Amino acid sequence: MQITSKLSSSQTTIFTEMSALATQHQALNLGQGFPDYDPPSALLDLVKDAIDDHKHQYAPMAGVMGLREIITQKVLHAYGQYINPTSEITITAGATQAIFTAITALVHLGDEVIIFEPAYDSYRPSIELAGGKAVVYTMEAPDFKINWSLLSAIISPKTKMIIINTPHNPTGTILKADDLIQLSHIVKDTDIIILSDEVYEHLVYDGQPHESVLKYPELYQRSISVFSFGKTYHCTGWKVGYCIAPEYLMNEIRKVHQWNVFSVNSFVQYALATFMKDEQQYLSLSQFYQHKRDFFLEILKTTRLRPIKSDGTFFQLCDYSEISDLDDIAFAKEMTVKHGVACIPISVFYSDNRQDKLIRFCFAKTENLLSKAGLLLSKM
């Protein structure tokens, strides 16, 4: 039987490949982005309580109302924007499902979607499955800044959506207030939709604020913003996130959401609704992860790797050009097999696989594991 693939690539993701290689060679896995420690014990207790309280059946399609209501309070306090919990918030099966659902609902055959590379790897296939075309703006190392005048030049009558990501995976950069203001000016008086991936909203360092589209009225009225409980509460395997959008956009998103997953597991939602009342659990995250970043940066001083200091996320980029002439995929594999530390090559986040001799580490790990990795890296 002849099958025509809907996707341009059928390769296994680099995350799966590098994690398998790390397991095979018993390497320390600083590649894939997940913590090696548990969620807060109080949250785990609340999940157990919800199970004991028989919260086993379908949640409402849009999510447990108590959870949506506490999200409304959080967004009002953090960003000064009132969000209607009934019509403007949907709980999703992780942030990636929210991204896929928004693209599927709003991008039509022939529409163009602007993405910024290096880009999180789910954007392009989601666009292609919707029948759209990804249009690339390439950010240059080492600062990965956006020239908004150049961005304006690639907007066309077919541009339906622009996907932004701040804090940014994989670079660890953040968008500043001026970036959001310039984007707001660019899309004003157009029908362009903004999809804002903000899953690392609480992982911003050195006293800098997170600039959400929710803070900017012109952007909010045309935006879907996406968030992740997994990134916030160290529970990536639970796959629970949410998206926020004006009602006219959320109506379209929910049309797809109801036929995709319909609803998200109920007992975790009830637990999160109670746990989120403690604001310090997420407000203290920047300090928690900045300590890990700084600890890892000190470790890197003992190596020949040259870090590009992370402003956000739990990722740290490093330049390895003083160590090897190998391309980054070959170098990442060599590091895993010969030196016992797994990382992610940055070229896989570019459609042209450009070579900047950069690799990405995840520092959402215990200090013990980071120290062990440092010893191995210092011997390279």
Confidence of residue 2 (pLDDT cuts 50, 70, 90): confident
Q: What gap in Å lies between CA 32 and CA 16, rounded to an integer?
A: 8
Q: What gap in Å lies between CA 375 and CA 373, rounded to an integer?
A: 5
What are residue 271's phi and psi, to 5 degrees? -65, -45
The average confidence (pLDDT) of the chain is 96
Last residue of a domain, one of 250, 277, 304: 277
pLDDT digits (tens, 9 = 90+) for 238-263: 999 999 999 999 999 999 999 999 99
Q: Environment class of residue 193 by beta-carbon count within 10 Å: exposed (0-12), middle (13-18) or buried (19+)? A: buried
In this predicted structure, the answer to whether residue 10 has a pLDDT above a threshold of 80 is no
Q: What gap in Å lies between CA 103 and CA 91, rounded to an integer?
A: 16
22 and 77 co-located in one domain? no
Examine residue 7 and state whether it is found in any structural domain, yes or no: no
Confidence of residue 319 (pLDDT cuts 50, 70, 90): very high
Which residue has tokens 């209607």? 84
Q: What gap in Å lies between CA 127 and CA 108, rounded to an integer?
A: 9
Contacts of 167 (CB under 8 A, 6+ apart): 173, 174, 200, 201, 203, 204, 210, 311, 312, 313
pLDDT digits (tens, 9 = 90+) for 300-311: 999 999 999 999
> In terms of residue numbers, what domain contains 91?
57-277
Three-state secondary-structure class, residue 288: helix
pLDDT digits (tens, 9 = 90+) for 59-79: 999 999 999 999 999 999 999
Examine residue 252 and state whether it is found in any structural domain, yes or no: yes
Q: State residue 100's pLDDT score.
A: 98
Number of helices (H), then strands (E), in the chain:
15, 13
68 and 191 co-located in one domain? yes
Examine residue 120 and state whether it is found in any structural domain, yes or no: yes
Confidence of residue 14 (pLDDT cuts 50, 70, 90): confident
In this predicted structure, the answer to whether residue 133 has a pLDDT above a threshold of 70 is yes
Q: What gap in Å lies between CA 300 and CA 363, rounded to an integer?
A: 12
221 and 188 co-located in one domain? yes
Which tokens hold the place of 288? 């928690």
pLDDT digits (tens, 9 = 90+) for 160-176: 999 999 999 999 999 99
In this predicted structure, the answer to whether residue 8 has a pLDDT above a threshold of 90 is no
pTM: 0.96
Percentage of the chain exceeding pLDDT 90: 94
157: preceding bond cis by omega (within 30 degrees): no
Q: For position 165, which CATH number holds?
A: 3.40.640.10
Span 354-358, average pLDDT: 96
Q: State residue 9's pLDDT score.
A: 63
pLDDT digits (tens, 9 = 90+) for 40-56: 999 999 999 999 999 99
Q: What gap in Å lies between CA 377 and CA 380, rounded to an integer?
A: 6
83 and 158 co-located in one domain? yes
251 and 309 co-located in one domain? no
218 and 363 co-located in one domain? no
Examine residue 190 and state whether it is found in any structural domain, yes or no: yes
Q: Which residue type does 204 have?
A: V
What are residue 228's phi and psi, to 5 degrees? -135, 125
In this predicted structure, the answer to whether residue 357 has a pLDDT above a threshold of 80 is yes
Nearest-CA neighbor of 128 among 103, 95, 106, 105?
103
Percentage of the chain exceeding pLDDT 70: 99
Q: State residue 6's pLDDT score.
A: 81
218 and 83 co-located in one domain? yes
